[in-house]
């Protein structure tokens, strides 16, 4: 939820009328006070599910923002952790927060790399890559390219992991809330330049899994039991674990 320390409605509007990169540059100082920052309960659940798959040496947080996934990687990786994002503002906020963490708790150092993740500057460099809360910024047609970039950045046997929520039932008010959000963004992007790609309903499990397999990953799904089960017994939230074969 938004708090009094978060952005004002006016600030959010200006951000939403900018490019993605510039929008996040503007939002960066207040980003951790918005609901867009991945909540700790997701980060903790993912950390718990990935721990038995380790130990890992090097880790990459794809679209790191202010460093939500970097915290996960610092728990799981023994050697080096890297956050990559194209917003200089988000990286600056992330660097400030992580410096305090490293000083207080020790653990692996963190590198910050400014790059568009559709052209990652790494080859066979990481044992583990994670990503949180960013896939809505990519059109479905961009997914194969993005997954190929992460695949190349991982060492053989390396893991790319991210949480994926089950689709909402049509009778849920949130289903219609997200549908409405996507509709508004589509109108905005048809009428206004630069575009701000951010859609909630463009990352379905089946399409994502097919694109991962085509990119050269072997895919497993791990239920995140912390989030419970749906009436049909399927999990509300899964961890997608894609291993570079
Ligand atoms: C909603 S934030 C999520 C941040 C963080 N992962 C979290 O969960 O709190 C999305 C982030 O993705 C970044 N981003 C979006 N498209 C990107 C791209 N093509 N290349 C690099 N970063 C990108 C934005 O700059 C922003 O920091």
Residue pair 113/121 in contact (Cβ under 8 Å)? The answer is yes
Identify the band that residue 69 occupies on the pLDDT scale cut at 50, 70 and 90: very high
Residue ID of nearest Cα to ligand 1 atom 22 = 85
Residue 3 has pLDDT above 90, yes or no: no
Residue-range domains of the chain with CATH: 1-36 (no CATH), 38-167+204-244 (3.40.50.150)
Q: What is the pLDDT, as a whole number, of residue 1?
A: 61
- Separation in Å, CA 47 to CA 25, 31, 198: 28, 22, 26
Q: What is the mean pLDDT of residues 87-95?
A: 98
Q: Is 117 in the pocket of ligand 1 (CB under 6 A)?
A: yes
Cα–Cα distance for residue pair 6/100, rounded to 1 Å: 21
Q: What is the pLDDT, as a whole number, of residue 4?
A: 81
Cα–Cα distance for residue pair 238/163, rounded to 1 Å: 6
Q: What pTM was computed for the model?
A: 0.96
Q: What is the pLDDT, as a whole number, of residue 24?
A: 97
Q: Is 27 in the pocket of ligand 1 (CB under 6 A)?
A: no
Q: Is 152 in the pocket of ligand 1 (CB under 6 A)?
A: no
Backbone φ, ψ for residue 221 (5° rounding)? -120, 125
> Which atom of ligand 1 lies at the shortest distance from residue 131's CA?
6
Q: What is the pLDDT, as a whole number, of residue 2?
A: 66
Q: What is the mean pLDDT of residues 203-230?
A: 98
Cα–Cα distance for residue pair 141/134, rounded to 1 Å: 15
232 CA from centroid of ligand 1 (Å): 33
Cα–Cα distance for residue pair 128/139, rounded to 1 Å: 24
Q: What is the pLDDT, as a whole number, of residue 200?
A: 96
* Rounded percentage of the chain residues whose pLDDT exceeds 70: 99
């Amino acid at each position: 939820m938004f708090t009094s320390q978060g952005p004002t409605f006016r600030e959010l509007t200006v951000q939403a009328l900018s490019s993605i990169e510039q929008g996040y540059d503007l939002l960066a100082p207040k980003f951790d006070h918005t609901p867009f920052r991945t909540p700790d309960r997701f980060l903790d659940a993912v950390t718990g599910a990935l721990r038995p798959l380790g130990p890992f040496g090097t880790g990459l947080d794809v679209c790191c923002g202010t460093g939500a996934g970097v915290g996960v990687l610092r728990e799981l990786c023994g050697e080096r952790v890297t956050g990559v994002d194209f917003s200089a503002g988000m990286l600056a906020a992330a660097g400030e927060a992580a410096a305090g963490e490293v000083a207080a708790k020790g653990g692996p150092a963190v590198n910050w790399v400014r790059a568009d993740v559709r052209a990652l500057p790494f080859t066979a460099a990481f044992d583990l890559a994670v990503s949180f809360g960013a896939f809505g910024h990519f059109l479905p047609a961009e997914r194969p390219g993005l997954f190929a970039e992460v695949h190349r950045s991982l060492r053989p046997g390396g893991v790319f992991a991210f949480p994926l929520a089950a689709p909402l039932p049509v009778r849920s008010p949130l289903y219609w809330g997200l549908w409405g959000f996507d509709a508004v963004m589509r109108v905005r992007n048809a009428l206004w330049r630069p575009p701000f790609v951010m859609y909630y309903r463009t990352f379905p499990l089946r399409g994502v899994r097919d694109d991962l397999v085509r990119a050269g990953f072997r895919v497993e799904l791990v239920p995140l039991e912390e989030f419970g089960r749906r009436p049909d017994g399927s999990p509300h939230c899964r961890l997608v674990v894609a291993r570079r074969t």
